[in-house]
Structure 1
Amino acid sequence: MGVITDNLDLWWEALGGTLVLFFGGGLIALVLGLIVGAARVSPVPIARAVGGIYVNWIRNTPLTLVMFFFAFCLPILVGQRLNYTLLAVVALGVYTATYVAEALRAGINTVPVGQAEAARAIGLNFGQVMRYVVLPQATRSVVPPMMSVLIALMKNTTVAAGFSVVNLGTIRAALSERGENALVVLLWVMVIFVALVLLLGWLQRHLENKWRIAR
């Protein structure tokens, strides 16, 4: 326990960095993923094509390369230096959005086609059909895969450690400079990640139980 109690300042900073990356990237991923997922099932061919290109291009690119682009290429393109933490949040959000979009698309496909057709028959446009009929039902079925995506996002935050962004992935190097045992530090990092993942698992079960009753 001395590894933690003697270095609380570094542990809080690292945990805070991980949570910033997780919540910031998760928010971007959910919003962007919702847009892309809707585009993937849109009746407009151009929207479907753009959504498909985005998903297949970004999802098949390693996260490290996506992070590299935002950390080193984007500042050159805009002509000014940008905050690495902000860039890492955006990179994680853009990358994770592809998985969110596919999870939503799979959930949307579980909704009977007849319900969407009936909604359009009473005069609702595509946006209204998605908002009032399809998405409320699809959301219930995408809770498990969506939580898997968020768990992956939690673990992917450590990739930002390679780009000078403080998080739990950088704590080993920081504590090694203070003479702490690297193996013990990594074991504690593992314990923290297991606790965070268990918390997400509890949230998943809570949402599943809540919405199962709502049916």
Structure 2
Amino acid sequence: MNVLLDHLPEFRAGFVGTVSLTAVSAAIALVLGILIAGFRVSPVPPLRFLGTAWVALLRNTPLTLLFLVSAFIVPEILFPGMSPFVLGSLALGFYTSAFVCEAVRSGINTVPLGQAEAARSIGMTFSQTLRIIVLPQATRTVLPPLSSIFIALTKNSAIAGAFSVTELFGVQKLLSDQGYDIVPIFIWVACAYLIITFSISGTFRLLERRMEVAR
């Protein structure tokens, strides 16, 4: 308990950093994942190719390599002066978007084909059909895998601490380097991660129950 009370500002900053990084990265991943999933089921061949290439590239690239690119290459070539938090959020969001895309695409595939055909028969475009007819019905199927994906995203955010982003695992490394006993530090960091992941899991369970009531 002493290590927590003595370094409460550091633990608080790490907790807030992890929550912020998780929230921003999840938002990026969700928007990109839905967009790329739309590309993957699009009737336009170039969009399908782009969606397939995006998922294949990011799912088969180590996350640490993406962080290296975002931390050392992107600031030098594209966006000088961008903050480590933004760069870390982009790396984590882009990586996770590939998994969100596959979850959303699987949900889309559970919607009966007749729904899309009926929408087209009354003159709706592909984007309208996807947005108004297909995605709302796919949401019930997509929620459980999205919960697991965002919990994994929270744990993956620990890598950002090695790239100058303030987060929980970085606090653990800082205090360990100062000579504090690593066991109580790990216990408090683990408790903080559990709070975040249980909150995500509980939120998605609540959403699933609400969707069941709506059904």
**TM-score, length basis structure 1:** 0.96
- Mapping 1:91-170, distance limit 5 Å: 91-170=91-170
Distance in 2, matches of 1:5 and 1:137, equals: 48
Report the Cα offset of residue 178 of structure 1: 5.0
Distance in 1, matches of 2:30 and 2:207, equals: 17
Distance in 1, matches of 2:129 and 2:45, equals: 18
Q: Which residue of 2 aligns with 1:181?
A: 181
Q: Does 1:203 align with 2:190?
A: no
Distance in 2, matches of 1:213 and 1:79, equals: 46
- Mapping 1:1-20, distance limit 5 Å: 1-20=1-20
Distance in 2, matches of 1:79 and 1:18, equals: 23
Distance in 2, matches of 1:192 and 1:41, equals: 39
Distance in 1, matches of 2:96 and 2:79, equals: 26
Distance in 2, matches of 1:176 and 1:23, equals: 27
Q: Which residue of 1 aligns with 2:75?
A: 75
Q: Which residue of 1 aligns with 2:34?
A: 34
Q: Secondary structure at the match of 1:169?
A: helix
* Contact map agreement 2:19 2:196 (CA 8 A) in 1: no
Report the Cα offset of residue 86 of structure 1: 0.9
Report the Cα offset of residue 63 of structure 1: 0.3
Report the Cα offset of residue 179 of structure 1: 4.4
Distance in 2, matches of 1:26 and 1:196, equals: 13
Q: Which amino acid aligns with 2:140?
A: R
* Contact map agreement 2:143 2:208 (CA 8 A) in 1: yes
Q: Check 1:79–1:99 CA distance in 2 against 1; reply closer, same or farther (3 A cut).
A: closer
Report the Cα offset of residue 172 of structure 1: 1.5
Specify every segment of 5 or more residues in structure 1 that has no aligned partner in the other structure, as ranges: none
Report the Cα offset of residue 180 of structure 1: 2.6
Q: Which amino acid aligns with 1:180?
A: Y
Question: What are the Cα deviations for residues 144-182 of structure 1, in whole angstroms up to 9, with x where unaligned?
Answer: 000111001000100101112110011122223554311
RMSD: 1.2
Q: Secondary structure at the match of 1:97?
A: helix
Q: Which amino acid aligns with 1:191?
A: C
Report the Cα offset of residue 198 of structure 1: 1.4
Distance in 1, matches of 2:167 and 2:127, equals: 39
After the TM superposition, list the runs of 4 or more consecutive aligned residues in structure 1 that deviate by more than 6 angstroms.
none
**TM-score, length basis structure 2:** 0.96
Q: Which deviates further from its counterpart, 118-127 or 183-192?
A: 183-192
